[in-house]
Amino acid sequence: MWQRSEVERLTGLSRHAIQDLCNQNTTRDGLGFWVPAVSKPGYARYDEGDLLAFYLVKQLTNAGFTLAEVEPVVFGMLEDDTSFEQALHGKEQRLAAQREAVGAKLAALAHLEDAVPVVPEQRLYAIMGEMLEEHAQEALRISAESARPTEEDRTLAPEHLKAFANMLLAVIQGEYPRFWRRSALSDVADVSCETQLQQLTARLSSLMKREVPESSAAQSFAAEVVQAFLGTSDSPDGAHCQGGSAKLQTTTAKALAVFCAMPENGVPIELVFGNGSFAYLARAMRAWADTWASER
């Protein structure tokens, strides 16, 4: 026979765990899972069978099972059916999901840590910039699965998405004005990046008041946005193209649709283009990307 302190030392289970496993269910605690060889009030002794049972419990807790979960798993192990295998598979799936969640948290923490060397007033922008670029890369990865761009376009598309992400950040940082706050366009002959963005923003604001995202006018606007970042002069129906292959336009359009639909991008998009622009752009980009791809 073994004393409880010896069982603790041999199995690695804590005193509380052993008590919890052996105590009958009460209104306070106790699982009542296992009855020791000798069990009297204030006195217990454990035999070989108890040691084996607690050894198994320890292996299960090492694998992530809680004490409350071990009873059906232990008894399922003794059954000639699939219950034991199913219990293990279910725990594996839950642990894999937890590992993925922890991995995502570690990645997010790394982005925050990258902002440490930056001057305090720029740290938020540094974090936002990293996240926007990461989301742009993820959007490209997702879109490439269906667009199947050429090798050349695989190198060009990231540049355009990065330019879009950098433009959002530049506006938020104040390098360009937030044009949705202006009621009129400046009459400038030279269409610089600033005035081009201003024109797009003004058009978007007008469209949101009178056109649904799936309308032909909204899709023409979506095409215009893509063309602005590709440097093309293609008409909305694809009649002409001066730079940027059809594949590149398709990839960029799909990537922008994915990018504009990512919840994490809602704040920067609406800070630049105005209230309601996030949902509108996502739907308009998706509608045009699907139409454009189906015609190619």
Q: Are residues 57 and 162 located together in one domain of the fold? A: no
Mean pLDDT of the 229-242 span: 44
Q: Are residues 75 and 216 located together in one domain of the fold? A: no
SS3 assignment, position 39: strand
Q: Quick one: tokens of 126?
A: 């540094």
21 has pLDDT over 70: yes
In-domain check, residue 64: yes
What per-residue confidence (pLDDT) applies to 13?
Answer: 93
Last residue of a domain, one of 35, 58, 85: 85
pLDDT, one tens digit per residue, over 87-96 is 999 999 999 9
In-domain check, residue 161: yes
pLDDT, one tens digit per residue, over 74-87 is 888 888 889 999 99
What per-residue confidence (pLDDT) applies to 121?
Answer: 93
What per-residue confidence (pLDDT) applies to 178?
Answer: 57
What per-residue confidence (pLDDT) applies to 189?
Answer: 39
What per-residue confidence (pLDDT) applies to 244?
Answer: 54
What per-residue confidence (pLDDT) applies to 144?
Answer: 74
In-domain check, residue 109: no
In-domain check, residue 97: no
Q: Are residues 141 and 234 located together in one domain of the fold? A: yes
Q: Are residues 177 and 280 located together in one domain of the fold? A: yes
E strand or H helix that includes residue 88? helix 83-114
User: What is the share, in percent, of the chain residues with pLDDT greater than 70?
Assistant: 79
Q: Are residues 152 and 18 located together in one domain of the fold? A: no
What per-residue confidence (pLDDT) applies to 187?
Answer: 39
pLDDT, one tens digit per residue, over 162-199 is 888 888 888 888 876 555 444 433 433 344 556 667 77
What per-residue confidence (pLDDT) applies to 240?
Answer: 35
242 has pLDDT over 50: no
Of residues 185 and 221, more confidently modeled = 221
Last residue of a domain, one of 85, 109, 128: 85
Q: Are residues 204 and 61 located together in one domain of the fold? A: no
Number of domains observed in the structure of the chain = 2
Domain holding 240, by residue range, is: 120-294
pLDDT, one tens digit per residue, over 111-121 is 899 999 999 99
Q: Are residues 220 and 73 located together in one domain of the fold? A: no
Of 64-68, 138-142, 187-191, 261-265, the least confident: 187-191
In-domain check, residue 22: yes
- For helices 277-294 and 266-273, give the axis angle rounded to 10 degrees: 100
In-domain check, residue 103: no
In-domain check, residue 94: no
Q: Are residues 137 and 279 located together in one domain of the fold? A: yes
Q: Are residues 196 and 242 located together in one domain of the fold? A: yes
Last residue of a domain, one of 59, 85, 111: 85
pLDDT, one tens digit per residue, over 259-270 is 988 989 999 999
Mean pLDDT, the chain, whole residue set: 81
Q: Are residues 20 and 78 located together in one domain of the fold? A: yes
List the one residue out of 198, 26, 99, 47 whose CA is nearest residue 35.
47
Q: Are residues 174 and 40 located together in one domain of the fold? A: no
